[in-house]
């Protein structure tokens, strides 16, 4: 069975962009692939997150994974930091990575343009992401459209390593992108992202969810006037509706006497209906943290088992003897 891997940063409760851009794909794939899905807590350090918040949100993401439908019996769920070998491989790959390659990174340049203060970790993000993927001999990586370049970088890093050491150590992974839902717009019309403050969290209390939906940015066209049907509300509504249902909402906008507030209420109802069972499961998990920790412990063991075997190969071909002097636990 081929192996699938991906991760999400613990920078808050998951939002619609995470779900439709990646998490839904994780769930849909788990019957056909060996899935490894992690909480990218090392990656979250690029945002200099508060330690207490990081601990809490890491557990939150695990609960989100399970609530969304990931089955621990079918998929390995673990914390990135529970497998320190990720960072060892990152250092090894960094020494074969040209600066010019990382300078072309779309995600890095976009964050800088948004005013995010740059640091070395943010710049090297693609190398750590490549390590996350390559250390598990991953076949397929379900990602959002904006992450496609990182997979291309990963293939480049793997090829450089294999050619430099003249040995096929790393498998070249492929990206799985569903173009129709690859990028979800936020409440301001830009890509939905925690760092941009434009998210809609499907698992927060209903009152808070309503507040987020009602904050969707619209223009000031009066209620009775026709409105542009391709607005932020319809773009989000399309995630929960058929083409026919979406067209009905657009026709209402064009006809006039249909306000943005009416459309936002319809969108909220669709979100609550779609995530009803998931929200109930999420609430139950909050009261059963022993089960959540058990899942993490089992996932960590499995992930380390796979990663340690790959790193043994890497150290041998590179010429590093220190790590392999230790007794191999697995």
pLDDT tens, residue by residue, 144-196: 676 788 899 999 999 999 999 999 999 999 998 766 565 799 999 998 988 78
User: Is the C-alpha dihedral spanning 233, 236, 238, 240 positive or negative?
Assistant: negative
Active site residue 74: no
Residue 314 belongs to some domain of the structure: yes
Q: Decide if 68 is inside a domain.
A: yes
The whole domain housing 56 covers 3-183+288-325
Each residue's pLDDT tens digit, 95-141: 999 988 888 877 778 778 877 777 888 889 999 999 999 999 999 99
For 319, left (φ over 0), alpha (ψ -120 to 50), or beta?
left
Is residue 328 very low, low, confident or very high in pLDDT (cuts 50, 70, 90)? low
Is residue 194 flagged as an active site residue?
yes
Question: Is the predicted pLDDT of residue 326 greater than 80, yes or no?
Answer: no
Among 145, 171, 191, 309, the active-site one is: 191
- Please give the pLDDT value at position 324: 63
Q: Within a 13 Å sphere around the CA of 40, how many CA atoms are in the beta-carbon half?
A: 20
Give the model's pLDDT for residue 181.
61
Among 194, 252, 264, 310, the active-site one is 194
Q: Is residue 194 domain-resident?
A: no
Percent of the chain exceeding pLDDT 70 equals: 95
Does residue 123 lie in a domain region? yes
Instruction: Please say whether the beta carbons of 201 and 12 come within 8 A.
Output: yes
Give just the sign of the alpha carbon dihedral 136, 138, 144, 146: positive
Choice among 111, 227, 252, 264 that is catalytic:
111
Same domain for 209 and 131, yes or no, is no
| Whole-prediction pTM | 0.84
Whether 50 is in a domain gets the answer yes
CATH, residue 240: 1.10.240.10
Around 204, how many Cα atoms within 13 Å sit in the side-chain half-sphere?
Answer: 16
The pLDDT value recorded for residue 275 is 98
Total domain count, the chain: 2
**Nearest in space to 153 (alpha carbons), one of 88, 197, 100:** 100
pLDDT (tens digit, 9 = 90+) per residue, 242-278?
999 999 999 999 999 999 999 999 999 999 999 999 9
Average pLDDT of span 58-76: 95
Q: Give catalytic status of residue 235 as yes or no.
A: no
Flag whether 191 is in a domain: no
């Amino acid at each position: 069975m081929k192996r699938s891997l991906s991760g999400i940063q613990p920078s808050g409760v998951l939002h619609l962009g995470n779900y439709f851009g990646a998490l839904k794909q994780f769930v849909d794939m788990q019957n056909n692939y060996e899935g490894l899905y992690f909480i990218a807590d090392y990656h979250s350090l690029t945002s200099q997150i508060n330690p207490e918040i990081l601990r809490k949100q890491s557990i939150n993401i695990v609960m989100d994974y399970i609530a969304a439908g990931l089955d621990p019996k079918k998929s390995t769920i673990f914390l990135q930091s529970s497998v320190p070998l990720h960072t060892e491989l990152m250092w090894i790959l960094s020494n074969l990575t040209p600066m010019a390659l990382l300078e072309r990174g779309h995600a890095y340049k976009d964050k800088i343009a948004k005013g995010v203060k740059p640091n070395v970790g943010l710049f090297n993000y693609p190398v750590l992401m490549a390590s996350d993927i390559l250390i598990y001999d991953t076949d397929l990586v379900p990602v959002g459209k904006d992450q496609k370049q990182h997979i291309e970088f990963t293939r480049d890093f793997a090829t450089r390593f294999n050619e430099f050491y003249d040995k096929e150590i790393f498998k070249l992974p492929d990206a799985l992108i569903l173009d129709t839902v690859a990028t979800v717009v936020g409440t301001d019309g830009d890509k939905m992202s925690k760092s941009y403050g434009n998210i809609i969290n499907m698992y927060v209390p209903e009152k808070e969810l309503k507040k987020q939906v009602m904050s969707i940015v619209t223009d000031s066209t009066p209620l009775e006037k026709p409105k542009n049907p391709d607005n932020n509300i319809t773009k989000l509504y399309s995630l929960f509706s058929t083409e026919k249902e979406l067209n009905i909402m657009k026709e209402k906008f064009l006809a006039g006497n249909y306000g943005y507030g009416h459309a936002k209420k319809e969108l909220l109802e669709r979100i609550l209906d779609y995530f009803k069972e998931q929200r109930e499961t999420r609430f139950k998990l909050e009261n059963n943290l022993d089960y959540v920790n058990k899942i993490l412990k089992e996932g960590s063991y499995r992930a380390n088992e796979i990663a340690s075997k790959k790193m043994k190969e890497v150290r041998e071909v590179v010429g590093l003897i220190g790590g392999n002097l230790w007794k191999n636990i697995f």
